[in-house]
Amino acid sequence: MQQPTFRHWGLLGYLTVFWGFAFYLIAVGLTAFEPVTVVWGRLTLGAVFMLVVLFLRGGSLPRSLLWWRRLVTLSITGNLLPFTLIAWAEQTVPSGEVGLLMALMPITILLLGHWFLEHEPLTPMRLSGVAMGFIGVALLMGVDLFANSDGRLPGQLAAVLATLCYAVNGIYTKRLPGFDTVAISAGSLLVGSIILLPIMLSQQVWVPPAAAPMAWGSVLLLGIFATGLATWVYFTVVSEVGPGFLSTINYLIPGVAFLAGALLLGEPAGWAQWLALFSIVAGVWLIQPRAFKPKSP
């Protein structure tokens, strides 16, 4: 692995912006499309982009039946379920709030990793991080934690469930044998698009681009830049400098999602939201693995 360069920091910034703005783009897309249509659009456009990258590199999709079964599992846990849950949640929950709740993903992965992966111990500091993360969730849910007073609770729970899907996907991926990340990413996006196509066709009423240009544009940006190109950028950075370098985005994406919703959509930005942002980001920071130097004799 090489040391991060200015180019890698630029790629990190790209991921932060487009993954953070993805929640805003979903909210705009939902003004004209059903949640399943927004998800199908981003999966299909992302798959096309990744297939082009794959073939330009001279690669190919997996050929064994075993790997296609794995692709179905990867797609359901890493694309279909979480993408759909997030889009469905944003029908009733502000996009910035969903972005904050999604920051629980590394905390959820840690909790599952303690039981299903080696070398993922729950130290006292990490347990403190888990507690901070869930305090942030409680602040966001407020009275909805005990009573569905304004109808947001189902959507909030859906967003939290999406983090569990991502965590399961991450654990499953780590337990797989070695594979070509570009081929597997392209394959999982393609599988998700195919599975979701009949559901989308049964639910979506056709909306011409002229009638909803913002929604169409948002889905295009979401699919091409926040799914397809972002996936390629992600694996480029991981292959060159390692996954640890990308841990920074766990602190930045919730802030971008929150600010985009507040500034562009006029979503709530009160003390509870700011305190929840601080609490969740602090929790993510506390759970990060740290190398301790041995004491000198």
Render pLDDT for 198-217 as a digit per residue (tens, 0 to 9): 999 999 888 888 999 999 99
Establish if 25 belongs to a structural domain: yes
1 in any annotated domain: no
pLDDT digits (tens, 9 = 90+) for 67-92: 999 999 999 998 999 999 999 999 99
Number of domains in the chain: 1
Residue 292 in domain? no
Kindly state the tokens that stand for 74: 């990867």
Evaluate whether residue 69 is within a structural domain: yes
- Alpha carbons 237 and 25: distance in angstroms, whole number: 24
pLDDT in tens, 5-37: 888 889 988 988 999 999 999 999 999 999 999
* 296 in any annotated domain: no
Q: What pLDDT score was predicted for residue 272?
A: 74
Q: Kindly report the three-state secondary structure assignment for every residue of 6-48.
A: HHHHHHHHHHHHHHHHHHHHHHHHCCCCCHHHHHHHHHHHHHH
- 295 falls within a domain: no
- For the residues 173-183, what does the mean pLDDT come to? 82
Q: How far apart are CA 238 and CA 232, in angstroms?
A: 10
Residue 297 maps to a domain: no
CB burial of residue 120 (10 Å; 0-12, 13-18, 19+): middle
Does residue 212 fall inside a structural domain? Answer: yes
DSSP secondary structure string for all residues of 221-284: HHHIIIIIHHHHHHHHHHHHH-GGGGGGHHHHHHHHHHHHHHHHH-----HHHHHHHHHHHHHH
pTM of the model: 0.83
Tell me which residue range forms the domain holding 253.
Answer: 6-287
Tokens in use for 75?
């797609």
